Chain A
Amino acid sequence: MNFKKFLLAAGQYLFLALFLGLLGAILYAAQFLRR
């Protein structure tokens, strides 16, 4: 596989992982901030 393509795909999946992490953080923060 082309190394550049591999890097691109890896970056995309990293971004997806960060995105899911952000969603988890939002849920956690909402629980935490609840009065």
Chain B
Amino acid sequence: MRLPERFFSRLLLAYLPFMVYPYDLFRAGAAAVWVVVFLWVTVFSFWFTRRLFPGRSIKHAFFLWLIVWAQAAWTLTRLPPHWVLSVFFLMPVSFLDAEAKPGHIRVFSREVPRYFFERALGGSAFVIFVMVMVFVREAGEKKFGIRLFEQPAGPLFVAAGMAFLWKKTHRFSWG
């Protein structure tokens, strides 16, 4: 399976599990923050330890890591286990690719802070995106009583509008 390379597409994919959560604004925000913090920890730890894994085992180790944490967080916080899908979709595209050779980038080069800055920016964008979507859904459903927002069609419509605006403004090459 090949993930889309555009950042906004992946943001949208990562948001999809949030559409089925029966959460209010606060709980959705907390779940999004947890997803992003876990994403940052994962990217950070795998970036620095990837050369320590034997051969190609890093991909299996990565998926095991995701599965184990999905289960552990579900046990502890009752967050639905598919929260980990959001993390998976937010992962940088070339993450764990065989062609991406971390050996060529020194640990203390300028590339590393830039890389992590982009990841931090992307994660924050995800939290803001989720909050906006949940806010719009709640406002449309409860305050204005728009039926459309009780169905997935409402949030999808808003997401389509945001994607349109995103395309109109500029094109970043994040991740």
Contact = CB atoms under 8 A, between A and B. Distances in A.
Contacts, number: 38
Nearest to B74: A30
Contacts of B55: 12
Contact count band on B = 10 to 19
Given A23-B65, A27-B71, A30-B71, A16 B53 contact: yes
A2 interface: no
B72 A12 contact: no
A17 B53 CA distance: 10
Nearest to B75: A30
B68 A15 contact: no
B61 interface: yes
Given A23-B64, A23-B68, A26-B68, A13 B75 contact: no
A12 B76 contact: no
B136 to A, nearest CB: 34
A19 B65 CA distance: 9
A33 B74 CA distance: 12
26 contacts: A9-B54, A12-B52, A12-B55, A13-B54, A15-B49, A15-B52, A15-B54, A16-B53, A16-B57, A19-B53, A19-B61, A20-B61, A20-B64, A23-B64, A23-B65, A23-B68, A26-B69, A27-B71, A27-B72, A30-B71, A30-B72, A30-B73, A30-B76, A33-B76, A34-B75, A34-B76
Interface of B: 49, 52-55, 57, 61, 64-65, 68-69, 71-73, 75-76
